Amino acid sequence: MSRDFSIIVISHNTQGILGECLRRLEEHYPEAEVIVADSASTDGSPDWVQTYHPAVKVLRLPNRGYAFAVNRGLEATSRPWVVEMNSDIYLEKGDLEALQKALQENPQAALAGPTLQTPRGHLQSFGLFYAPNYWKLQRPRPVSWVSGALIMARKSALAKIGGMDERFFFYNEDLEWCTRARHKGWQVLLVPRRVLHLGGSSTPSDPRFLAEGYRGGLLYTRDYYPTLHSLHKKAVWLEAHLRLRLDGQPIRRAGYRLILDKLQEGSLEVPFLP
């Protein structure tokens, strides 16, 4: 039942799509607790939500990254099933129930995510290594991680797992969260339920976003796969040098320059953003 759901919508300058996201939540989950965690939007989003969706709780937050916003949202929840989602997720009736059902039928699972679908109707790609998770996916399947664009969590499990790691500003926070859950003995489920994800709504053309993705990946391997971390650093160093020579996009070249400087600096703790 929707009254058992706390739904956290993460927003940063997405007023143009946030309205449809909230409209669908109100239509399909009218009894849910809905929280918009807004990361210092400058497009009027928080005031707009309070005016046109007064039942929604708005958290006005500094822009300290996706994980920071999720965690502040988690602290404000009061229901047993917690959903964190992007504002560019457009839900249909039954989407959240499918995730809840998967978790209820698998008590060892803490987190569950759907198969995300692009506006063109394709499954969202997370690389060649992730693709086998989709093969013959007819029932919920334990996987290494699911996308943070939409995750349902068993709130009782989060008391043991904790929230997202705020060292990850943007990208890789979902990977780390799922890995930590598995290391604590929980399963992460990929559910064969297609959910529309517009994608890229809060990702401007900024070289720091590209560099932040690499920083987060390196931070992740350093913490969870230390024997592979050195090889990972060398691979990033080589790719960045090649991209600087061959990539025709100035913004991307600037991003690779940033990550090379970070590797030379030797510290992964400080994010490139905001």
First CA to last CA distance, the chain: 38
Distances (CA, A) of 273 to 93, 108, 203, 216, 260: 36, 36, 12, 12, 16
Q: H or E element: which one contains 113?
A: strand 109-117
The three-class DSSP label of residue 145 is coil
Q: Please give the chain's pLDDT, 274 residues, in tens.
A: 789 999 999 999 999 999 999 999 999 999 999 999 999 999 999 999 999 999 999 999 999 999 999 999 999 999 999 999 999 999 999 999 999 999 999 999 999 999 999 999 999 999 999 999 999 999 999 999 999 999 999 999 999 999 999 999 999 999 999 999 999 999 999 999 999 999 866 566 899 999 999 999 999 999 999 999 999 999 999 999 999 999 999 999 999 999 999 999 988 999 999 8
